């Protein structure tokens, strides 16, 4: 997928609000606070990691993840189940988010489109795996703050081999 739209002219407050939201999301994921993470999504929100970055929709195409809040809750339940052998020992992650660019802001609807770069390191079974790529967020302002309508994760190594399947969100 192309690098995206040019940066929109937004206030410093909006820029900071989006940056802080993305940093908080990364921290929540690293701390495995799944309920807090799921609360960041709108009721119709989706988390999408396409199998091919040229895909423009998660419908009808292979995806690494294409989950609505219900499926995200199911995954969180599996991750925290006491007999989840794939999480014994549990993995540890560290997310770094940078280069946050606001592509679009609609003050009337409260919708914001943003992209950012990320690096995520996973440590499990004495090995580290690295994932990097681009986040694309479609956010909406709600009374409780920003919420995610769509989080798209384009992995740099989308076509590379994996030692084992991703169990959690990048």
In the chain, the number of structural domains is 1
User: For residues 158 and 46, what is the distance between their CA atoms, to the nearest angstrom?
Assistant: 19
Which SS3 state, helix, strand or coil, does residue 66 take? strand
Q: Is residue 161 part of a domain?
A: no
Q: Is residue 160 part of a domain?
A: no
- The pLDDT tens digits for 90-134 are 788 999 999 999 999 999 999 999 999 999 999 988 889 899 999
Q: Is residue 128 part of a domain?
A: yes
Q: What Å distances lie between residue 57 and 48, 52, 63, CA to CA? A: 9, 11, 10
Q: Do the beta carbons of residue 23 and residue 117 sit within 8 Å?
A: no
Q: Is residue 165 part of a domain?
A: no
Q: Is residue 20 part of a domain?
A: yes
Give the CATH number of the domain where residue 103 resides.
3.10.450.50
Give me the domain span that covers residue 144: 12-52+62-155
User: For residues 63 and 60, what is the distance between their CA atoms, to the nearest angstrom?
Assistant: 9
Q: Is residue 167 part of a domain?
A: no
Query: Which token pair is 25?
Result: 């999301």
pLDDT at 4: 63
């Amino acid at each position: 997928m192309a690098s995206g739209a040019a940066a929109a002219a937004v206030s410093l407050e909006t820029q900071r609000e989006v940056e802080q939201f993305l940093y908080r999301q990364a921290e929540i994921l690293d701390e495995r606070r799944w309920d807090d993470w799921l609360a960041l999504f709108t009721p119709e929100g989706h988390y999408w990691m396409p199998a091919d970055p040229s895909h423009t929709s998660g419908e009808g195409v292979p995806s690494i993840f294409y989950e609505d809040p219900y499926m995200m809750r199911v995954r969180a339940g599996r991750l925290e189940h006491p007999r989840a052998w794939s999480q014994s020992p549990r993995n540890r992650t560290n997310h770094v988010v940078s280069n946050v660019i606001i592509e679009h802001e609609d003050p009337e609807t409260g919708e914001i489109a943003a992209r950012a770069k990320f690096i995520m390191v996973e440590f499990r079974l004495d090995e580290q795996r690295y994932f990097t790529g681009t986040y694309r967020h479609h956010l909406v302002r709600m009374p409780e703050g920003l919420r995610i309508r769509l989080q798209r994760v384009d992995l740099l190594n989308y076509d590379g081999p994996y030692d084992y399947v991703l169990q959690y969100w990048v």
